[in-house]
Amino acid sequence: MIEQRWWGEPDAGPTLVLLHEGLGSVAQWRDVPDRLHALTGRPVLAYSRAGYGQSSPVALPRPLTYMHDEAALIPHVPRPILIGHSDGASIAIIAAPTVQPVALVLIAPHVFVEDVSVAAIAAARDNYPALRPRLARYHADVDGAFWGWNRAWLDPAFRRWNIEAYLPQITAPTLIVQGDADEYGTLAQVDAIAMQLGGATRSRSSPAPVTRRSSRRASSSGSRRSSTPW
């Protein structure tokens, strides 16, 4: 069973599809879907990938190709606009050449593995006893959600993970969102994506500190701080 929720009625026009982070779920988008629906007038679909939120659990360990596997399972909607955060952004990149979205919004994406990412994920592992009660508010199988993500990223073989080859195949307009104080990734990700995408690109960075994987782009009036709600 895959947990999903709609805001607005699907139609033949563009649909905003939200792809959550490596420890995310429908509930952890908080009021973002409501705000997007109100702002754009377009339907919004959020879903929890298998093993997250209230979706059915998955067998562990997750394969190191888990993001490629998930890219093939994005719900089919007409004219999707893929909005992905962290792992969700990477999944959107992998899926884009096949799905052919109207546009992409990539929030704190990863196209290769950085030392800072590995260090932060190792720190999350060490801090899991403290994180677990907060994550358990959102995930029916909290241990499966955490360890499936954490152990995949910390597997030595995952250091070779790289999805840059997908970038030249993407022709949809793309907005890249990255906080420059995000402990899970650096602006090197933005540079790599912007240089290799096949379509129009806009990227912005925020000097505001960020917590966990959350990185929100600064608006023209200034930056703001945001954090994952756990």
Q: How far is CA 97 from the centre of its chain?
A: 17
Q: pLDDT tens digit string along 111-160?
A: 999 999 999 999 999 999 999 999 999 999 999 999 999 999 999 999 99
Pairing of strands 15-19, 44-47: parallel
Q: How many C-beta neighbours within 10 Å does residue 145 have?
A: 26
Which one-letter DSSP state was computed for residue 74?
S
Is residue 72 scored above 60 in pLDDT?
A: yes
Alpha helices in the chain (DSSP H): 32-40, 66-71, 87-99, 115-126, 128-135, 142-154, 187-196
Domains along the sequence of the chain with CATH: 4-209 (3.40.50.1820)
- 77-124 residue pLDDT tens: 999 999 999 999 999 999 999 999 999 999 999 999 999 999 999 999
Nearest in space to 228 (alpha carbons), one of 123, 138, 114: 138
pTM of the model: 0.89
Nearest to 102 by CA among 28, 13, 38: 13
Question: What is the pLDDT at residue 207?
Answer: 59
Nearest to 80 by CA among 167, 7, 10: 10
Alpha-carbon torsion, ordered 71, 76, 81, 84, to 10 deg = -30
Q: For residue 61, is the peptide bond before it cis, meaning its omega torsion is within 30 degrees of 0? A: yes
DSSP string, 23-46: T--SGGGTTHHHHHHHHH-S-EEE
- Long-range contacts of residues 117-124, Cβ cutoff 8 Å, at least 24 apart: 117/153, 117/184, 117/185, 118/153, 118/154, 118/159, 119/183, 120/183, 120/184, 121/150, 121/153, 121/154, 121/184, 122/154, 124/150
Check residue 80 and give its pLDDT: 98
pLDDT at 203: 64
Question: DSSP label at 136?
Answer: T
Residue 154 token pair: 């910390």
Phi-psi region of 86 (alpha: psi -120 to 50; beta: other; left: phi over 0): left
Residues in the chain: 230
